[in-house]
Structure 1
Amino acid sequence: MTDPAPTLRSASGFDLTPPDDREREALEADLSPEEKRVLLAHGTEAPFCGVLLGEKRAGVFCCRECGLPLFRAGTKFESGTGWPSFTQPVDEAHVTAITDRSYGMVRTETQCARCGSHQGHVFPDGPPPTGLRYCINSVALTFVPEGEALPDPLGRGDGTA
């Protein structure tokens, strides 16, 4: 019998172990067609129509697919672009940056570090303190008000917002 693979944890204590094939199938089965288009096929929702654009309560924005906390409400700002924008992730290890050369541009795509789902892009034109603008699709996120349990579709018991 072999030992199970070690759990990968971020500095903030969250399990970053990618879902196995069975878990991934269950996560993807729970997504709407629009969520699948954005999260799995690297799509983009139309600007100014995302349900989280105007969200101003304290809390955490988590990956819609796997529930990993990605951005705190306190880092959200109005960028005027039509998508929720943030200055920094909850933990740098929770968001993976990938060079995106689609559509004749060079941009930095952001993906959930645990499940690999497409979240949006990050640009170097944000406000202090980071100067970054994480431009994220609403449909790629789930908002959890402060004090409520984080989504835990993988059963990893990572905590509350």
Structure 2
Amino acid sequence: MKKRYFLKTGTAMLGVAWLSPYLAGITGKSKVVAIASNKFEITKTEEQWRKILTPSQFYVLRKHGTESAHTSSLDKQYANGTYLCAGCDLPLFKSQTKFNSGTGWPSFYAPINGAIGTSIDKLFFISRVEVHCHRCGGHLGHVFNDGPKPTGKRYCMNGVALKFIES
């Protein structure tokens, strides 16, 4: 009986972990509301955001979604330039701080000063630091403490949340 209980419990835990990106809209509502209630320089209704963003941009920026790994052309973009928020065009990262993390998402070791805000993202069994645009509050990705020098940070961003302007 113990073996059966262990298998059922393990299967349930794996299922919850696997489904967590899809359940985020259910369990993560309080965080979404908390960020949405902040005073940002740019605020729009959900309908206004839907009119200016693609469905995938809306899902990531406004609903705190995550794009699939290795799907963004910005992951392997290494030209000189600036990465902007896809929601409001605020400059967020310079190409000089970009590195190949091997994760499948564009990664940077430092943002432009004052460009981002952070909050704690607690989803199921993990706690992460969420990164959002300082001007419009759009969800960009997460920051981890496993990046390169000089900061030791890895700003793992959703490529769909960014625009690249070559210089």
> Shorter-chain TM-score category?
0.7 to 0.9
Shift of 1:17: 5.8
Query: Structure 1 stretches (4+) deviating beyond 6 angstroms?
Result: none
Tell me, what secondary structure is at the counterpart of 1:53? Answer: helix
Query: Using the alignment, how far apart are the partners of 1:56 and 1:94 within structure 2?
Result: 21
* Aligned residue in 2 for 1:80: 102
Tell me, what secondary structure is at the counterpart of 2:105? Answer: coil
Note the residue ranges of structure 2 that are not aligned, 5 or more in a row. 1-38
* Aligned residue in 1 for 2:76: 54
Shift of 1:103: 3.3
Query: Using the alignment, how far apart are the partners of 2:65 and 2:73 within structure 1?
Result: 16
TM-score (norm 1): 0.75
Query: Using the alignment, how far apart are the partners of 1:26 and 1:83 within structure 2?
Result: 27
TM-score (norm 2): 0.73
Could you tell me the percent identity over the aligned residues? 43
Q: Given that residues 87 and 126 in structure 1 are in contact (C-alpha distance below 8 angstroms), is that contact kept between their aligned partners in structure 2?
A: yes
* Aligned residue in 2 for 1:31: 53
Cα deviation 1:29-80 (Å, max 9, x = unaligned): 1111111111110000000111211111100000000000000000000001
* Aligned residue in 1 for 2:42: 19
Give the letter for the 2:58 counterpart. Answer: K
Give the letter for the 2:134 counterpart. Answer: A
Give the letter for the 2:41 counterpart. Answer: P
Give the letter for the 2:119 counterpart. Answer: I
Query: Using the alignment, how far apart are the partners of 1:35 and 1:139 within structure 2?
Result: 6
Cα deviation 1:100-150 (Å, max 9, x = unaligned): 00132100000000000000000011000000000000000000011xxxx
- Which residue of 113, 118, 125 maps to 2:139? 118
Note the residue ranges of structure 1 that are not aligned, 5 or more in a row. 1-15, 147-161
